[in-house]
Structure 1
C-alpha cells in the first residue's frame, strides 16, 4: 500500500514519441536516475488524440488553438511514448520535487534551455518536439499518470527490479534505425533532394556556382543558406519551389518577422519534383513554423 503523500515524492513523466523515435528514451531514463528521479513504473503507450485531449484538457479548453494540439498529435503519431512514475531519491527536506524536476528538464523552448538540462542535452527540436513532459504538481501527477494507465499501485518498491523491468521495456521499443537528424540536418535532407531533382536541367554555370557556394552538403542547413541557394537557382526553378527552398521553416527571425509558409504549400511544391517529406521531416518543419527551433548554426554564431 502506497504511503500517504505518495505524489509529493513521485512525479509523472512522459517521454514523448519523438524521444523513442530518436532512440534516446533509454538514455533519458538512465539520466533521470542519475538526477535522483528513479523511474519505478512504466508503460509504453501508443497515444491517440483522445489521450492527448485528456492529458492537456485544461490547456486545450483555455489557451491552445486547434493547430497546436494537432501538432502534438502529429508527434505522438511517430510511435510509442513512455509513461513513467519517477520517485525522488534526493534530500528528504526537498518539498517541491515537481519544481526540482522541471528545472532539470529545462525550459520548454530548447534554444533558451541551459546546457546540462535534459531537453538541451538530448537535443529537443522545439517546444512541441521537446522529448518530454513532466507534471507541475502532485495533483497533476496523479491525474496525468491515470490518463496513461498508471497509479500508485504500479510503483515497484525494489530499485533493482524497477531498473531491470523498465530498461528492458525501453530496449523492446527502441527503433531498429533511430532518427538522428536535428532541425538543420532535416533542412539539409530536404534541400539536397530538391537540388538533386533539378540538377540535370541546370546549366553548367549554375552547377558550378552551387558547388562553389556549398562545397559540403551540410552547409545547406545553416542560417541563410536557403536564401543563397534560391538566388543561385533563380530563373531555373518554379517560383513555388524557390519559395520553399528560401524558407527557413522557423518561427521568428532576426529581424522580428516570421516565415508565412504553410507546410501543405511546401509539400506541394516539392512533390511536383518527386520530393516527399517523411514523417520526421514533416513534424520538425511544420512545428518549427510555429515554435522556434534549436539551431546549431545559431549556437555557433552566438
Structure 2
C-alpha cells in the first residue's frame, strides 16, 4: 500500500509545473512506477557543482549531508558536461512566467556548469521524518551565501556568490525524477531507488568519485582571485617606472602574496591591501613621480571597491585595460561576482 503523497505522484500532479510557466507535467511522458513512488517521495536529486568539485570540497559536502541521516543511493560524474544538460535542468527557470527566471543571466550561469565536471547524486531521507527535499533545503541555506548562517552548507564550505554557490538541489520529488532523468535511464533510476530496500546492497561509489578530486585546489574565492589578477596587472604597470617598480612590487607581494583559505583570512587580506595602498601612494609621492598613465593605473588598481555598488565593475574594466589576460576560471569568478554584487560586500565576512 503506497502513501497518499506517493499516490499523488502517480497521477503526475498536473498543476505542478504551471507555477513555473509550463502547462503540462513532465510525468505525463515519464510516469513514476508504482513500486518506487513511496521511495521517491523521500528522495532528492542534488548536484555538486564544478566550483565545489574542482576546489576539493565534494567529499566533505557528502559527509556533511550523510551526518543528517541522508542515504546516498546513486552518484555519478557528469564527466563531459553539455550545455543542453543544464538548459534542461533549469528550463522551468528560463521563462518570464517564473519570478525566479534566469534568462538575463543564463549566458553567465551556463559557463559555470560547462567549466568542468559535476558530481550528481540522489539522496533518500529516513522514514518517519522530513523528506530529503525538505531536509536538504534546510541544510544548504539560501542561494545567496551572505544570507546563510554558519550551520548552512554554503556558509560552511565558503560559497562565492549566488552562481558559484557549490550545490544544486531539486525542489520536489517530481523535479528530482525529472532532473535525474536528464542523466540516468529509467531502469537505472528504478534500480537505485529499489536498492534502498536491500540490506546487502553494495556501497555507493561517491567516496571514490569524490576522492578523485580531493587534491584539486582551484580557487573560486572572489578576493583571492581578484588579488592574484591585481598583482599581475600591477607588475605590468610597474615595468615602465624603472627602479620604483621593484619597490612597489615588493610592497604588494609582502601584503598580498599569501592566499586566503577562509573568510577571516580574506578580511585580513583586505586590511593588508589597505596598508599596501598607503605605502605605495607615499612612495610615489615621495619620489615625485609624474602622474603618467602607469601611475594612474597603479593607483586605480590599488582600490578594492568593497563599498561602492559600481566599484568592482569599474575595477574589472581597469584590469582589462592593463592588458592582463584572464583565464577562464578568473573571468568566471570575477564576472559572476560583478553580476551578483551584493555577495561581494565586506559584510559577508564580518560576522
Tell me, yes or no, whether TM beats 0.5.
yes
2:122 pairs with one of 85, 107, 118: 85
* Distance across 1 between alignment mates of 2:68 and 2:341: 27
Question: What runs of 5+ residues in structure 1 fail to find an aligned partner?
Answer: none
How many angstroms does 1:198 deviate by? Answer: 2.6
- Conserved? CA contact 2:251–2:276, under 8 Å: no
Which is further off, 65-74 or 276-285?
A: 65-74
Aligned to 1:194: 233
- Conserved? CA contact 1:13–1:84, under 8 Å: yes
Which is further off, 52-61 or 181-190?
A: 181-190
Are residue 111 (structure 1) and residue 160 (structure 2) matched? no
Question: Are the structure 2 counterparts of residues 98 and 196 from structure 1 closer, same or farther at C-alpha, using a change threshold of 3 Å?
Answer: same
How many angstroms does 1:268 deviate by? Answer: 3.5
**Equivalent residues in 2 for 1:6-155 (5 A)?**
6-45=39-78, 46-62=80-96, 63-64=100-101, 66-89=103-126, 92-149=127-184, 151-155=189-193
Q: Root-mean-square deviation (CA), in Å?
A: 3.6
Deviations 1:165-217 (A, max 9, x none): 22122233x17542145211111111111122233333666865776688421
- Conserved? CA contact 2:219–2:225, under 8 Å: no
SS across alignment from 1:237: helix
SS across alignment from 1:61: coil
**Structure showing greater relative contact order (alpha-carbon pairs closer than 8 Å, 6 or more residues apart):** 1
Which is further off, 260-269 or 197-206?
A: 260-269
Which is further off, 237-246 or 99-108?
A: 237-246
Question: Are the structure 2 counterparts of residues 264 and 147 from structure 1 closer, same or farther at C-alpha, using a change threshold of 3 Å?
Answer: farther
- Conserved? CA contact 2:74–2:192, under 8 Å: yes
Question: What runs of 5+ residues in structure 2 fail to find an aligned partner?
Answer: 1-32, 259-265, 285-290
* Distance across 2 between alignment mates of 1:148 and 1:277: 32
* Distance across 2 between alignment mates of 1:160 and 1:266: 60
- Conserved? CA contact 1:105–1:118, under 8 Å: yes
Which is further off, 199-208 or 177-186?
A: 199-208
* Distance across 2 between alignment mates of 1:21 and 1:182: 12
TM-score, normalised via structure 2 length: 0.70
* Distance across 2 between alignment mates of 1:159 and 1:71: 44
Question: Are the structure 2 counterparts of residues 69 and 296 from structure 1 closer, same or farther at C-alpha, using a change threshold of 3 Å?
Answer: closer
